[in-house]
Amino acid sequence: MIPLPTWMRRALFATAGMNILAAAAFVPAAQPVRAVLGFPEAGHPLYLLTVGMFILTFGLGYLWAAAAGHAERLFITLAAFGKLSFFTLLVGCWAAGAVPVRLPLLGMGDLVFGVLFVAWLLGERPSHDVRRAVPAGVGASGARG
């Protein structure tokens, strides 16, 4: 686990709140909320709940990492990819005329957090030399030789 600077912890707390609130919009009964936001209103409850579950799961992961003050690079990499991919999907759907412009505008938060996560990943260097983590006499295959 890598210690997080204060700015990154704040970003994780903020995006945790954003995700936890956004997950509520995918409860099947939240059709009016989705309509106001510009999301497609209809959908099978299984699909809506699955999307909401993933949004909530990542939100809780962001909250956990922010509260702990440490995160794995893999988690932040997946977070950055997810945030940037979601924003790209919103822009693509808007460009195709499938959603109103307010949806990618609302998704700007995901773009900002995705960029912040990438900035942290590019600025953070592993705190130890990976070569030292392999015991002496162990080759690349893991066999002593």
- For the stretch 10-44, pLDDT in tens is 999 999 999 999 999 999 999 999 999 888 878 89
Residue 113, domain member (yes or no): yes
Query: What residues does 70 pair with on adjacent strands?
Result: 3
Residue 118, domain member (yes or no): yes
Residue 76, domain member (yes or no): yes
Residue 138, domain member (yes or no): no
Residue 136, domain member (yes or no): no
Cα–Cα separations (whole angstroms), residue 41 to 27, 53, 92: 11, 17, 18
- For the stretch 108-131, pLDDT in tens is 999 999 999 999 999 976 655 444
Look at the chain and report how many structural domains it folds into: 1
Residue 48, domain member (yes or no): yes
Confidence of residue 79 (pLDDT cuts 50, 70, 90): very high
Structural domain of 115: 2-124
Residue 140, domain member (yes or no): no
Confidence of residue 132 (pLDDT cuts 50, 70, 90): very low
C-alpha 34/C-alpha 9 separation (Å) is 29
User: Helix H segments across 69-126?
Assistant: 73-95, 102-106, 108-123
- For the stretch 59-72, pLDDT in tens is 999 999 999 999 99
